[in-house]
Amino acid sequence: MTVEPKKIHTLKGEPLKTPHSLFGHMVYLSIHPGRLILLPFKHWFEKHYSGKYKFDRAVFSFDLALIGSVISLFLIALFLILVPPKQFRDDISFHATVAPHEVVSGASSTLVITYQNNTNEPLRNPKLTLTFPKHFLLQSASANETNVNTQNIPLQDIPVDGTGTIHVQGVMFGDVRGEQTFGSTLAFTHGKETDVLDQKTAYYTFSPTHSTLSLDLTLPEQVISSQTMSGVITYKNTGSIDYKKIQIKPEWPDGFTFKDASAQMQNGSFVVSNIKAGSSGSIHFTGKLGTVPDQLSFRFLPSFTFETDQYKQEVLTKNVSILPAQIQLTQFVETNILTPGTDATFHIVYKHVGKEVLRNVEITFTSRDPFIAKQTHRVLNIDTINPGDEKDLAFQIPIRNSVATSLLTSYENIHVRTNATARYSLDRLQNEQLTTSSDELKTPLTTPLNIESFARYTSPGGDQIGRGPLPPRVGQKTSYWIFWNVDGTTNPLQNTVMEGTLPANVSFSGNTTASEDEGVTFDPVTRKITWDLAQIPPTLNPESKVYSVAFEVILIPKTEQIGSPALLLQNTSFQGKDAVTGVTQNVSKPNITTSLQSDTMAKNKAIVR
């Protein structure tokens, strides 16, 4: 059975003749657009109204009119919301510029605000109120060339077409590339018959292009893979306002391991405090490269703190090219420890691991540690090193017996840091010298030791503590005090003992005083004076106390001693074991006689009479 297609009729009930070709459809749409628009309404009428109401066409027409009225009211309301009616204040114009044209965070700038009354009435009793960004330091303000010292500026009446200018000078602090918003509110009275209070508010936004905190990043153009790498961030406060604190947050690339920096780290950022106006400084940092691609990108995100807010600065970015490693360096110390006052034997082992011949090779031992007496030592200077070459280089470096505490950053458990560096060139890079460094070697240092053993007749302050005649006389008693001091240690000392032997004509009075324990003991059989301490902690720190003991001895000179100084104590020695390195320290001290050149009363009175 064949189904007839449904025919479409006009509102009069006449069938619409539809074309059968694309061209015919186009002609049809152009001739009968109104009929097509009415078709949906016809269908709606036939489905919901036709035959259901007595006056179906009238009801349908009324509903259409009602819907149209609702849509019209909605469109009118939307227009009123989106396009509010013009108000009196809209004819008052504000315009703002800033000088210099380039806004700099932390630098002084001048905001120029101009206003004009374009209304048809004068503005009476005008008053301008300015609002500033959070951290804007107002330096000066003027209204129509009259200086004012407030953000609330009274103005003279503004006539029709009247204009005015406000100058505001100050220092703006904010994010570089961020937004700084100023505001101005003009309150006034207008009205020809009655007074009408009104106000006009305008906002002006500026963006600092940079700041007075000048920053620069210095990195090598290219480095060797698997080597230590250093960089420097320099900063300078070019403005007139001090910075309380700046933070520089590094974003280390993958394959780079941060090791050390000259600035302290807080929450993952370098921190520098109290940067005075005009001052400058630098942050040195080092790290180790691992297996990395041909290029690394370093980023540093600086900011400064004003009160409790942080403001972002220009990001520092630099790329570094990575070259493959050609030579490996390792170093070690024969004894695995260093002892002050000795010559230590160091070794540097080099191995060529690359595929190119190294030319003009120089291998150097370096150290910035104050205990290393020779801080730069050239170990090898050779024309070429071929792929696969390997050699152990041994050499001696003197270790200082002691150093000034001002040269040290740590006073306990000191490890001496040393490095080995190779400088060379490649045929394909003849005009460039390449550098490869070893891992830093940290070798524990056996504690330095300062032992003092001396006698006094008077105290350093001039008080007499000895008794008896000076110079000493045969058969008469003269007493002296002997002092032993131990300090300058960096590691704890265990099982410490200091002792000395009294000559036959010198006796121990029994008087003794000590910083720790009970002082010395005397053995009349061996005639030994002994100071026995279980442990002495590190004492190099200037704030640490000196471990000391003092005891009184009595001299009765013999006839055969006439004409020469008399011996007071002999065979003085100290022994103690370094608790860190395990080395036993043995120190011998000279004999003590009555020759006391630093004693105010006993000086030049040493010869027995």
Q: Domain check: are 106 and 178 in the same one? A: yes
Q: Domain check: are 400 and 514 in the same one? A: no
Q: Domain check: are 253 and 331 in the same one? A: no
The pLDDT value given to residue 585: 93
Does residue 182 belong to any structural domain of this protein?
yes
Tally of domains in the chain: 4
Does residue 287 belong to any structural domain of this protein?
yes
Distance CA 220, CA 396 (A): 32
DSSP state of 401: S
Does residue 29 belong to any structural domain of this protein?
no
Kindly give the pairing relationship between strand 316-323 and strand 222-224. Answer: parallel
- The parent domain of residue 436 ranges over 327-444
Does residue 72 belong to any structural domain of this protein?
no
Q: Domain check: are 588 and 457 in the same one? A: yes
pLDDT tens digits, one per residue of 4-21: 444 444 444 455 455 555
Residue 395 has pLDDT above 70, yes or no: yes
Does residue 604 belong to any structural domain of this protein?
no
Residue with tokens 């180790």: 288
Q: State the CATH number of the domain containing residue 105.
A: 2.60.40.1530
Q: Which string of DSSP letters, residue by residue, matches 46-101?
A: HHHTTTTSTTHHHHHHHHHHHHHHHHHHHHHHHHHHHSPPP-GGGGEEEEEEEESS
Residue 297 has pLDDT above 90, yes or no: yes
Q: Domain check: are 270 and 253 in the same one? A: yes
Which one-letter amino acid corresponds to residue 577?
A: K
Q: Domain check: are 573 and 508 in the same one? A: yes
Q: Domain check: are 299 and 310 in the same one? A: yes
Distance CA 27, CA 30 (A): 5
Q: Domain check: are 245 and 179 in the same one? A: no
Across the range 249-269, mean pLDDT stands at 92
Across the range 93-103, mean pLDDT stands at 84
The pLDDT value given to residue 5: 46
Closest CA relative to residue 589, chosen from 566, 571, 565, 567: 571
The residue ranking higher by pLDDT, 330 or 54, is: 330
Q: State the CATH number of the domain containing residue 230.
A: 2.60.40.10
Q: How confident is the model at residue 80 (pLDDT cuts 50, 70, 90)?
A: low
Q: Give the end of a domain, one of 161, 192, 210.
A: 210
Does residue 454 belong to any structural domain of this protein?
yes
Is the pTM of the predicted complex or chain greater than 0.85? no
- Check the CA dihedral 373-374-376-378 and report its sign: negative
**Percent of the chain predicted with pLDDT > 90:** 56
Residue 418 has pLDDT above 80, yes or no: yes
Does residue 415 belong to any structural domain of this protein?
yes
Q: Domain check: are 234 and 111 in the same one? A: no
Does residue 45 belong to any structural domain of this protein?
no
Structural tokens at position 556: 């009765």
pLDDT tens digits, one per residue of 506-537: 999 999 999 887 899 999 999 999 999 889 99
Residue 568 has pLDDT above 70, yes or no: yes
Q: Give the end of a domain, one of 176, 191, 210.
A: 210
Q: Domain check: are 248 and 315 in the same one? A: yes
Give the DSSP H/E element, type plus range, for residue 516: none
The pLDDT value given to residue 24: 55
pLDDT tens digits, one per residue of 212-231: 999 999 998 888 887 888 99
What CA–CA distances, in Å, run from 486 to 450, 459, 495? 6, 19, 14
Q: Give the end of a domain, one of 413, 444, 475.
A: 444
Q: State the CATH number of the domain containing residue 531.
A: 2.60.40.1170
Please list, in sequence order, all residues whose beta carbon lies within 8 angstroms of the beta carbon of residue 11, skipping any fewer than 6 positions away.
38, 42
Across the range 180-207, mean pLDDT stands at 90
Q: Domain check: are 118 and 182 in the same one? A: yes
Q: Domain check: are 457 and 415 in the same one? A: no
Please list, in sequence order, all residues whose beta carbon lies within 8 angstroms of the beta carbon of residue 34, skipping any fewer than 6 positions away.
none
Across the range 464-484, mean pLDDT stands at 96
Residue 36 has pLDDT above 70, yes or no: no
CA angle 58, 60, 66 (to 5 degrees): 100
Distance CA 588, CA 570 (A): 10
